[in-house]
């Protein structure tokens, strides 16, 4: 037995890598369809957006790069779909330098293709990328056109009906930031705290623990924590708006709900590995102590 | 020409004073650190005063503080340029000396110039960096979606493999603190996903019990994240903010001078 446990502890890590690969790949190829329960932070974010009225202005910021896209893309796209079905006006920006704009363009192109009635410049606008995230946010509180004088295609923002009468971010009804790293926190400290615009954050799962402090203090309207939060949002959206169900049920596209299957199996594998590792550690330690 | 008080003051403080400082510093090296300290003093003080003094020249729409914010965006742009210069000079040095890993520096520079070149081409030709009118991607866009995005995603995805391996080898209940961490981690990992439902799937009789247990684990996870985690995070954030504020005061008062990059005695 001891020899077996010692062999287990000395297991070549490539076997673990193979196990991880199989446990993630299999549910993606053959979805399991596990249930997703809703947390209160996602529910409050969803309810806040649902309470907005047609014509209200929301700001969607793509503050992440390709490294966290499987977590952040589904939440940004779900939010965008909700905005279009509720006829909210959407302003899109990207403040993350490493590929944020590319992902913003991709998601906007994908979701606007599903809503052909949404008109560019009237129902939504893409203001593109701007460097210096915190300084940009502070400038938005004074004058949006100073921070973003043109849209992503280089046309002056004053040409677009959506920007008429919209001077500062104080007039925006909600900021939604899908973020990685520090930029999400800056939306809270620079925009909510100084200008009072409500903020919903969609951080990666590793960043999510930090934002519970802001949730508890009431500085965040809600939070979609990682892929789990995105999957919760997708489920709420599909349940509330029948027409959006087709994007989440029986689709071949990657969704957070599908991703949760893989994450569930992987969590199980990692927990089993931790238990096995500790079992081997304690049993071999007991033997060693006895031998001594 | 608009010559309001705020604008004139900004020009004096952040244009004329630095130029005078450079001129004086060239003649008297002892003065080299004095003028930057003065500039940092006012750059730090103006945004603070604008929070408490509701005067138009200070905090109005075109007051000194909003203008400084706009300048900050421009300065951030220059920081990118500085980073670019740094990457090019370091990589060039590595290649010319044939330091360890020099071929990677060639790949880095090739990536930099190819992406930069396509980006500049997109700006000059007014194609941008997205899609062409016929729906096909611009060269910048093509390289981004086919090379950059998969590479970044791959690097991050490797974390799952290393985390699993590290958890197996190192996550041990060696002492009380490690045991608390391990138990909390196990609860959160179980509560964040429908693991119990997944494990009970082949046994229909266990489904209701698994669903109830899963709900309980979910609530336990929310409590851990909300209460102990939330409290600890608040402490960390408040501590970090106080640290940042005290560092800011040290810079404004000229006690902290490391950012000047000067040698000893200057």
**Span B206-248, pLDDT tens digits:** 999 999 999 999 999 999 999 999 999 999 999 999 999 999 9
Residues B8 and B76 in one domain: yes
Coil/strand/helix, residue B54: coil
Question: Hey, of A33, A40, A70, A138, which one would you mutate to test binding to chain B, going by the most B CBs within 10 A of its CB?
Answer: A138
Q: What is the pTM of this model?
A: 0.88
Per-residue confidence (pLDDT) for residue A292, from 0 to 100: 53
Q: Are residues B247 and B218 in the same domain?
A: yes
CB A79 within 8 A of CB A110: no
Tell me the two tokens of residue B145. Answer: 């979606």
Which chain B residues have a beta carbon less than 8 Å from that of A268?
A: 195, 198-199
Model ipTM value? 0.85
Would you say how long chain B is, in residues?
266
Beta bridge partners of A124: A90, A120
Interchain CB distance below 8 Å, B66 and A13: no
Across the interface, which of B126, B156, B173 has its CB nearest the CB of A67?
B156
Closest CA to A93 of A47, A53, A139: A139
Residue B258 within a domain: no
User: What's the pLDDT at B27?
Assistant: 83
Residue B120, SS3? Answer: helix
Mean pLDDT of B88-100: 95
Q: What is the pLDDT of residue B3?
A: 61
* Domain-located, residue B259: no
CATH of A40-253 given 3.40.50, 2.30.29, 2.60.40, 1.10.287? 3.40.50
The answer to whether residue B88 sits within a structural domain is no
**Chain A neighbors of B192, CB-CB under 8 A:** 205, 228, 267
State the first-to-last Cα distance of chain B, in angstroms, to the nearest integer. 40
Instruction: Answer yes or no: do B193 and A267 touch at CB < 8 A.
Output: yes
Measure B26 CA to nearest chain A CA, in Å. 32
- The domain boundary, picked from B138, B170, B202, lies at B170
Whether residue B262 is contained in a domain is answered as no
Q: Which residues of A touch B126 (CB under 8 A)?
A: 154
Q: Where are the alpha helices (DSSP H) in chain A?
A: 2-9, 13-29, 40-50, 69-85, 100-114, 133-140, 144-147, 183-186, 193-195, 208-216, 226-240, 256-291
pLDDT at B265 exceeding the cut of 80: no
Tell if the CB–CB gap between B73 and A228 is shorter than 8 Å. Answer: no
Is A218 in the B-facing interface, judged by CB distances under 8 Å? Answer: no
Q: Please give the Cα distance from A61 to A93 (Å, whole number).
A: 5
Is B92 contained in some domain?
no
Q: What is the pLDDT of residue B266?
A: 52
Instruction: For residue A214, give the chain B residue with the closest CA.
Output: B234
pLDDT for the residue numbered B205: 92
Nearest residue on chain A to B150, alpha-carbon basis: A66
Q: Is the pLDDT of residue B31 over 80?
A: no
Which of B80, B111, B146 lies at the terminal end of a domain, its last residue? B80
Q: Does position B35 have pLDDT exceeding 70, yes or no?
A: yes
Its domain, for residue B75, covers: 1-80
Question: Domain for residue B39, yes or no?
Answer: yes
Q: Using the beta-carbon criterion (under 8 Å), do B194 and A264 form an inter-chain contact?
A: yes
Q: Which of B170, B191, B219 is the last residue of a domain?
A: B170
**A136 at interface of B, judged by CB pairs closer than 8 A:** yes
- Please give the pLDDT value at position A22: 94
B236 CB neighbours in chain A (<8 A) are 210
CB pairs under 8 A between A and B: 179
Residues of chain A with pLDDT below 70 are 286-292
Closest-CA residue of A relative to B172 is A278
Q: Over range B179-186, report the average pLDDT.
A: 94
Q: How much is the pLDDT for A291?
A: 57
- Nearest chain B residue (CA) to A130: B73
Q: What is the pLDDT of residue B165?
A: 92
Considering only residues 167 to 206 of chain A, which have any Cβ-Cβ distance to chain B shorter than 8 Å? 205
Query: A37 and chain B: CB distance < 8 Å anywhere?
Result: yes
Q: Do B204 and B164 lie in a common domain?
A: no
Asked if B45 and B37 count as a contact pair (C-beta separation under 8 A), the reply is no
Cα angle vertex B127, ends B126, B131, to 5°?
Answer: 155
Provide the pLDDT for residue B1: 47
Q: Per the structure, how many domains does chain B have? A: 3
> Of A92, A130, A127, which is closest to residue A110 (Cα–Cα)?
A92
């Amino acid at each position: 037995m001891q020899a077996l446990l010692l062999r287990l502890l000395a297991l070549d890590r490539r076997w673990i890598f193979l196990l991880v690969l199989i446990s993630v790949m299999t549910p993606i190829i053959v979805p399991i369809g596990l249930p997703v329960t809703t947390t209160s932070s996602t529910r409050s974010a969803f309810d806040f957006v649902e309470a907005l009225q047609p014509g209200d202005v929301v700001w969607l910021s793509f503050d992440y790069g390709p490294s966290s896209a499987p977590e952040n893309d589904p939440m940004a796209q779900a939010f965008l779909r909700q905005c279009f079905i509720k006829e909210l006006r959407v302003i899109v920006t990207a403040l993350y330098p490493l590929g944020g704009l590319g992902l913003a363009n991709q998601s906007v192109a994908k979701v606007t293709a599903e809503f052909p009635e949404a008109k560019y410049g009237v129902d939504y606008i893409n203001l593109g990328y701007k460097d210096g995230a915190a300084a940009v946010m502070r400038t938005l509180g004074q004058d949006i056109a100073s921070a973003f004088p043109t849209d992503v295609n280089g046309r002056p923002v004053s040409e677009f009906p959506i920007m008429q009468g919209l001077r500062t971010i104080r007039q925006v009804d909600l900021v939604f930031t899908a973020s990685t790293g520090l930029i999400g926190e800056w939306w809270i400290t620079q925009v909510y705290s100084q200008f009072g615009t409500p903020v919903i954050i969609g951080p990666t799962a590793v960043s999510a623990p930090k934002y519970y402090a802001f949730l508890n203090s009431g500085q965040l309207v809600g939070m979609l924590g990682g892929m789990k939060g995105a999957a919760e949002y997708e489920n709420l959206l599909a349940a509330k708006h029948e027409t959006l169900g087709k994007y989440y049920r029986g689709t071949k596209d990657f969704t957070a709900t599908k991703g949760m299957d893989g994450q569930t199996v992987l969590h199980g594998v990692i927990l089993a590995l931790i238990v096995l590792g500790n079992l081997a550690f304690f049993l071999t330690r007991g033997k060693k102590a006895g031998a001594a | 020409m608009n010559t309001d008080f705020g604008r004139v003051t900004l020009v004096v403080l952040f244009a004329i004073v630095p130029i005078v400082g450079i001129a004086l510093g060239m003649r008297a090296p002892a003065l080299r650190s004095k003028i930057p300290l003065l500039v940092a003093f006012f750059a730090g003080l103006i945004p603070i005063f604008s929070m408490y003094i509701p005067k138009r020249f200070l905090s109005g729409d075109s007051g000194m503080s909003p203008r400084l914010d706009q300048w900050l965006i421009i300065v951030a742009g220059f920081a990118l340029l500085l980073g670019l210069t740094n990457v090019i000079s370091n990589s060039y040095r590595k290649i010319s000396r044939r330091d360890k890993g020099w071929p990677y520096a060639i790949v880095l520079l090739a990536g930099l110039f190819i992406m930069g070149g396509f980006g500049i081409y997109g700006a000059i030709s007014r194609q941008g960096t997205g899609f062409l009118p016929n729906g096909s991607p611009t060269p910048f866009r093509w390289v981004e979606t086919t090379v950059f995005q998969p590479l970044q995603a791959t690097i991050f995805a490797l974390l799952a493999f290393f985390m699993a391996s590290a958890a197996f080898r190192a996550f041990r209940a060696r002492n009380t603190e490690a045991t608390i961490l391990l138990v909390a981690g196990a609860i959160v990992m179980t509560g964040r996903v429908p693991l119990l439902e997944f494990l009970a799937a082949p046994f229909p009789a266990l489904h209701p019990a698994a669903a109830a247990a899963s709900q309980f684990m979910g609530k336990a996870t929310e409590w851990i994240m909300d209460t102990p985690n939330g409290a600890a995070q608040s402490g960390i954030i408040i501590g970090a903010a106080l640290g940042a504020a005290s560092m800011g005061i040290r810079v404004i008062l000229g006690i902290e001078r490391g950012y000047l990059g000067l040698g000893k005695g200057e």
